[in-house]
Amino acid sequence: MRIKSLKSKIVKIVKGRQILVVDDNKSAADSLAKLLEYFGHTLSVAYDGRDALSEIDIHTTNVVLLDIGLPVLDGYEVARELRRKYDEAGRKLLLIAISGYGQEADKQRSLEAGFDYHLVKPVDVVILEKLLK
């Protein structure tokens, strides 16, 4: 499917989310951010868990796409801390794991850490769009 036709399908449904992409693979993070910006979202990018926690604005960010296998603080630790911060502030957060880990045990661990969904890399943009609506 060409990007132009994909955009027409997605933009009708989702628009204007404030999204933080967190991945230590800079190319993957930047590419996903550019694609989501193309679809009308506002993006921030962090390349490790510590930066994600220090850079996130809990008053504007409403979606976090978070890699699990991060150095220093892994995605599970970041997810637990984000849930704590958002709960304390009374804010809603859609937290999506984006990982190379795709076994059932990995998905269960994601749910236990506070993720709403677990997607396996490479991310299917159509599935991501459905989760963002």
Per-residue pLDDT of the chain (133 residues), as tens digits, is 444 444 444 444 446 899 999 999 999 999 999 999 998 999 999 999 999 999 898 899 999 999 999 988 999 999 999 999 999 999 999 999 999 999 999 999 999 999 999 999 999 999 998 999 8
Q: What is the pTM of this model?
A: 0.87
Domain that holds residue 43: 3-132
**Count of the separate structural domains present in the chain:** 1
Count of beta carbons in the 10 Å neighbourhood of residue 30: 15
82 within 8 A of 114, measured Cβ to Cβ = yes
Give me the CATH number covering residue 50.
3.40.50.2300
Determine the pLDDT at residue 7: 47
CA atoms of 2 and 122, how far apart (whole Å): 17
Determine the pLDDT at residue 15: 60
Angle between helices 3-11 and 125-132 (to 10 degrees): 20
Distance (Å) of CA 124 to CA 32, 73, 100: 11, 26, 13
